[in-house]
Structures are given as structure tokens and as C-alpha cells.
């Protein structure tokens, strides 16, 4: 549902207590026996893991919040802040680095008015840097919404971001 809100251009709002309880009541497995599965379902429902949901999960499972956060922060798949509708992953591995990935990241960060790890104020993009995307011969490499783009430069990435913005505007999205 958060994904639907995100697709409509709205940033996910902090969930109500009722909404959190509804999600917890409808988990596919008891969270006491499948904490990671519960966290995945909560994130699917909200688009991220809101603190209110983690607190309610802790009460339900009789687990301290610190233990839940320990699991959340250990796994890279979990996010405690809302993410953008479009995810940009920029490789900073050695092969990409020596081919100018840092300059490319700086340029797109300036364009998006955010920094790596951040989400644009309109909720449209999240910019992330990763250690390696496993396509070293094609570097610098960027993955936008799961699609690899090779031999990228700052200007190519700028054009790619602008094409996504145009597509969003044409689709009638608020973002």
C-alpha cells in the first residue's frame, strides 16, 4: 500500500496505530518465530520500517526495541526511512572509481539536491552508493530501478534522471 502511495507521488506518511496493528494482525507467520519475515512484511506494507511499527512489534513479541533494531541494521534489505519511488544505485568499486564514478555521483547528487543515502524532497529518487555491482568491465555502472546502465558519465546520468522526471510528469504524477 505504501508502494501504491509512492507510485502516486506521495511520500509514505507515518502510519497510524490502527494501521500498524492491522499489518501486525495479518502477518503470514507469527513474528515470534519469524522476525525477519515479519520485518519484510511490515516494510512491504509501509515502504520502510517506521519506528511505531517496530515498537508495536517489540511489544507483541516481547522483544526489546534494541534487539529488533539490531536485526534491522544488520541486514541491508531493511530501511528505517522512506525511500524514493526510483532507486539509483551508483557503483563505487575500484573499476568504476578509476573511471570517474565519484565525479558522476557528485554531479547527480547536486542535480537531485540530495547526498548519497538520501531521498529527494519530492520522494521521487533515492540515491545510494554501493561497493560493487559486479559489472566491472562496464564501469562506471548505475542501476536505476533494477536496470543496469553501463559506461555512465555524469552527463549521461543527468539525462537519465531527467528522462524519468519527464516520464513522471507525463504520467500525471505529482512527484
What does the domain layout of the chain look like in residue ranges? Answer: 2-74, 86-170
Tens-binned pLDDT, residue by residue, of the chain (175 aa):
444 444 444 444 566 778 888 888 887 877 788 899 989 999 988 889 999 999 999 998 899 999 999 999 999 889 998 899 999 999 999 999 999 999 999 999 999 999 999 999 999 999 999 999 999 999 999 999 999 999 999 999 999 999 999 999 998 765 4
Q: Would you state the cell numbers that stand for residue 54, as one nine-digit string?
A: 517496530
pTM above 0.85, yes or no: no
Does domain 86-170 bear CATH number 3.40.630.10? no
**What order of strands is seen across the sheet that includes strand 142-144?**
125-130, 86-91, 142-144, 147-149
Q: How far apart are CA 58 and CA 39, in angstroms?
A: 11
Residue corresponding to grid cell 539525462: 159
For the chain, state the CA radius of gyration: 18
Euclidean distance between CA atoms 86 and 172, whole angstroms: 16
Amino acid at each position: 500500500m505504501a508502494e501504491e502511495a509512492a507510485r502516486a507521488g506521495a511520500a509514505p506518511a507515518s502510519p497510524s496505530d490502527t494501521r500498524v496493528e492491522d499489518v501486525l494482525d495479518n502477518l503470514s507467520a507469527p513474528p515470534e518465530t519469524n522476525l525477519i519475515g515479519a520485518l519484510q512484511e511490515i516494510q512491504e506494507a509501509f515502504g520502510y520500517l517506521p519506528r511505531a511499527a517496530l515498537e508495536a512489534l517489540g511489544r507483541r513479541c516481547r522483544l526489546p526495541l534494541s534487539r529488533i533494531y539490531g536485526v534491522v541494521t544488520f541486514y541491508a534489505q531493511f530501511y528505517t526511512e522512506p525511500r524514493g519511488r526510483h532507486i539509483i544505485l551508483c557503483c563505487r568499486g575500484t573499476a568504476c572509481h578509476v573511471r570517474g564514478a565519484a565525479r558522476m555521483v557528485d554531479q547527480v547528487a547536486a542535480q537531485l539536491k540530495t547526498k548519497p543515502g538520501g531521498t529527494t524532497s519530492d520522494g521521487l529518487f533515492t540515491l545510494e552508493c554501493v561497493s560493487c555491482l559486479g559489472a566491472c568491465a562496464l564501469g562506471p555502472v548505475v542501476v536505476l530501478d533494477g536496470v543496469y546502465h553501463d559506461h555512465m558519465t555524469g552527463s549521461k546520468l543527468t539525462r537519465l534522471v531527467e528522462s524519468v522526471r519527464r516520464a513522471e510528469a507525463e504520467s500525471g504524477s505529482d512527484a
